[in-house]
Amino acid sequence: MKHFVFFLVIGFTFYSFSQAVLTPELLWKLNRVSGGTVSPDGNYLLYSQRSFDMAANKGNTDLFVIDLKNNQSKQITATPFSEMEAQWGKNNTIWFASAEKNGLQIWKMKHDGSEKIQCSNFTDIEFEGFKLSPDESMVLTIEALKLKPTITDKYADLPKANARVEDDLMYRHWDHFDDYKRRHLFLHRINTNGTSEIIQALGTDILHGEMYDGIVPPFGGSDQFCFSNDSKKVLYTSKKLVGKEFAQSTNTAVYEYSIASKETVNLTEAYKGYDNNPAFSTSGELAWLSMARDGFEADKNDIILRNLTGIDKNLTKDLDLSVTDFAWHPSGKMIYFLAATKGTVHIFEMDVASGKIRQVTTGQHDYVSISLFGDKVYSGRQSMVAPTDLYAISIKKNKVEQLTEANASILKNLQLPKVEERWMETTDGKQMLVWMVFPPNFDPSKKYPTLLYCQGGPQSALSQFFSYRWNLALMASKGYIVVAPNRRGLPGFGQEWNDAISKDWGGQAMQDYLTAIDRASEEPYVDPSKLGAVGASYGGYSVYMLAGIHENRFKTFVSHCGLFNLESWYGTTEELFFANWDHGGPYWLEENKENYAKFSPHNYVANWNTPILVIHGGMDFRVPEGEGMQAFQAAQLKGIKSKYLYFPTESHWVQSPQNGLVWQREFFEWLDNDLKP
| DSSP string covering 303-362 | EEEE-TTS-EEETTTT-SS-EEEEEE-TTSSEEEEEEEETTEEEEEEEETTT--EEE---
Annotated active-site residue in 82, 322, 371, 537: 537
Domain ranges of the chain: 31-119, 122-151+170-314, 329-406, 411-675
Rounded CA gap, 13 and 418, in Å? 8
Q: Tell me, what's the pLDDT at 200?
A: 42
pLDDT for position 102: 79
Q: Identify residue 342 by its one-letter amino acid code.
A: K
- Encode pLDDT of 126-154 as tens digits: 789 999 999 998 899 998 888 899 999 99
Pick out the chain residues at pLDDT < 70. 1-19, 191-209
Which percentage of the chain shows pLDDT scores above 70?
94
With the CA atoms of 660, 665, 671 and 677 taken in that order, what torsion angle do they form, in degrees rounded to the nearest 10?
180
Question: Any idea how long the chain is?
Answer: 677
Q: What is the pLDDT of residues 611-657, one digit of tens each?
A: 999 999 999 999 999 999 999 999 999 999 999 999 999 999 999 99
Our answer to whether residue 213 is catalytic in this structure is no
| Residue 620: active-site member | yes
pLDDT value at residue 124:
80
Whole-angstrom CA distances from 570 to 322, 484, 563 are 28, 28, 10
Cα three-residue angle 461-467-473, rounded to 5 degrees: 100
Q: What is the pLDDT of residues 164-209, one digit of tens each?
A: 999 999 999 999 999 999 998 988 887 655 443 444 444 445 555 6
**CATH number of the domain at 411-675, out of 3.40.50.2020, 3.40.50.1820, 3.40.50.300, 3.30.300.30?**
3.40.50.1820
- The values of phi and psi at residue 548, to 5°, are -100, -10
Q: What digits encode the pLDDT tens for the residues 391-443?
A: 999 998 889 999 999 999 999 999 999 999 999 999 999 999 999 999 999 99
> Is 537 among the catalytic positions?
yes
Q: In the sheet where 418-425 sits, what is the strand order?
A: 4-10, 418-425, 431-438, 481-485, 448-454, 526-536, 556-560, 612-617, 642-647
Q: Which segments within 220-263 are labelled E, that is strand?
A: 225-227, 233-238, 253-258
| pLDDT of amino acid 673 | 97
So what's the pLDDT on residue 18? 46
The whole-angstrom separation of Cα 350 and Cα 348 is: 7
- 415: Cβ contacts below 8 Å, ≥ 6 apart: 12, 16, 18, 19, 20, 21, 440, 441, 477
The rounded distance, in Å, linking the Cα atoms of 199 and 272 is 37
User: Quick check: helix, strand or coil at residue 433?
Assistant: strand
What's the whole-model pTM score? 0.94
Strands 371-373 and 526-536 turn out to be unpaired
CB neighbourhood size of 233 (10 A): 18
Q: Which of 275, 366, 499, 620 is catalytic?
A: 620
User: CB neighbours of 48 closer than 8 A, spacing ≥ 6?
Assistant: 33, 34, 35, 61, 62, 63, 64, 83, 86
Q: Which residue out of 275, 302, 652, 674 is catalytically annotated? A: 652
